[in-house]
Structure 1
Amino acid sequence: MEVGVATALVGALFAPALARTAYQMSVDADTPARGTCRHCGERLPSGRVRFTLWTGRCHYCRTHLGPRVWLSAIVAALATFAVGFRVGNDPVLLTFMVFALACVPLAFIDLAVRRLPNQLTYPLAALGVSGLFTAAYLSREFTPFLRGLIGAALAGGLFMALAYARPDGEGMGLGDAKLAGILGLFLAWLGWSELGLGLLAGTSAAAAFGVYMLRTGRMSRRSALTYGPFLIMGAFLAILIG
């Protein structure tokens, strides 16, 4: 529990940087990251230090930009608490922490523009493989790493097949398949039950939300559903209780 609380506090400290990342990368595909206020066009403050001082408002027109910093802090704290609580003092904790923090902007970006940018998913996948391999090498126990690779292939392959089965933009997308592969890597590292629970919880939550939106008339049968946040939510639920 103590490790979980400590990692949650660390995660909350990253909230300004995560919120600004989510705002800047909430753009259409093949569009550069946003560097200005979308309302007045004023350039965002530059420099890496500015990421830690991000308030979620344009410094010129004071309009809210992107997700609220306080909301990013809550989500980041919950995600990092889950990995800290589950992994504990194991050397692999650092890799899981980066994974948890990266999932925060991914969820917000997917909610905003229905895409999971390769600028985040590709480095996260590379870091996951290298970080988990390093942890396996240090512990001289490669079974979790090999299980993670298999889990990534299974989860990513399943969602890739779903994406190609309905390539109309209304079902799963390739970004969801890439995210599923990353989630499969980390969940299967912990165990097969975590992988199954995470995928089941995420897809079930997405389906339940879709049914609710249909019955309340807020969506039509041809409306697109954002799957990424539900997959992420299911994954961290599995990490916490799996």
Structure 2
Amino acid sequence: MDVGVATALVGALCGPALARSAYQMSVDAGSPARRRCGHCGQRLPAGAFRFPLWTGRCGQCGDRLGPRVWAVALAAAVGGFAVGHRLGNDPAVLTFLVFALGCVLLAFVDVAVRRLPDQLTAPLAVLGVVGLGTANYLNRDMTPLLRGLIGAALAGGLFLALAWVRPDGEGMGLGDAKLAAVLGLYLGYLGWSDLVLGMFAGTFAAAVFAVVMLRTGRMDRKSALAYGPFLLLGALIAVLFG
């Protein structure tokens, strides 16, 4: 069986837990994670086993909470397939699978509240250094990790400069720069061409989306745009086609 099929299945099974986490983490900066229904105030079901049983609906009022579970599960399955199909039996596949699931969660949170929480990006960075470093040690070749670290510095530095150009909340933010650094680590690990393709594809997708929204009148030149999902889309394209 193709490894991609197995990792896609794992991603799909994690969909409900990711959907609940997205709802709980979609809050303003500095606010605690949601513990109650935003409509009726009913406390969310407690216990670790409640995460995989999440339906996306309040058990009391029935209103939808957060993103649709099927959409999150589908995104997680696609991300899982991409890394499994690309890496196969490479020891790094487990690290990349967790990375893919974390990226799905980041995308849905950013769409909801235009935030890329440090409590998600920071662990993904640490996971990359430790997990990919371990995989390189097992493969007796540290070159991919070193390339990834350089990629993180280059991508993070570029997007940090872009954030400084327009520090008004309308351009890229520090969260986007941190995400770019994390993506630079993982894509750089795969190869220079993957890093370039991922950054270019994500930026191009964001530009096309902005032009379409401007032309249709759904946005104006002062409207804010969440870059995170587009950067993550670019990373997915790089993993699949790089």
Deviations 1:120-144 (A, max 9, x none): 1111111111111111111110110
Q: Which amino acid aligns with 2:163?
A: A
Question: Which residues in structure 2 correspond to 1:13-24 (within 5 Å)?
Answer: 13-24=13-24
Between 121-130 and 199-208, the greater mean CA deviation after superposition: 121-130
2:163 counterpart of 1:170: no
Question: Which residues in structure 2 correspond to 1:22-33 (within 5 Å)?
Answer: 22-33=22-33
2:242 counterpart of 1:210: no
* Structure 2 Cα separation of the partners of residues 90 and 133 of structure 1: 13
Deviation at 1:115, TM superposition (A): 0.5
* Structure 1 Cα separation of the partners of residues 193 and 13 of structure 2: 31
Deviation at 1:147, TM superposition (A): 0.1
Map of 2:123 onto structure 1: 123
Deviations 1:61-109 (A, max 9, x none): 1110011110011100000100000000111100000000001110000
TM superposition score normalised by structure 1 = 0.99
* Structure 1 Cα separation of the partners of residues 187 and 14 of structure 2: 23
Question: Which residues in structure 2 correspond to 1:1-242 (within 5 Å)?
Answer: 2-242=2-242
Report the aligned-residue RMSD.
0.7
Deviation at 1:40, TM superposition (A): 0.6
* Structure 2 Cα separation of the partners of residues 46 and 177 of structure 1: 34
Deviation at 1:34, TM superposition (A): 0.6
Deviation at 1:199, TM superposition (A): 0.4
Which sections of structure 2, spanning at least 5 residues, go unmatched? none
* Structure 1 Cα separation of the partners of residues 142 and 30 of structure 2: 38
Deviations 1:136-193 (A, max 9, x none): 1111101100000000000011001111111000000100011101111000100000
Identical amino acids, percent of aligned pairs:
71
Deviation at 1:56, TM superposition (A): 0.4
Q: Which amino acid aligns with 2:64?
A: H
* Structure 1 Cα separation of the partners of residues 237 and 174 of structure 2: 23
TM superposition score normalised by structure 2 = 0.99
Secondary structure of the 2:3 match is: helix
Deviations 1:188-233 (A, max 9, x none): 1000000000000000000000010011110010000110000001
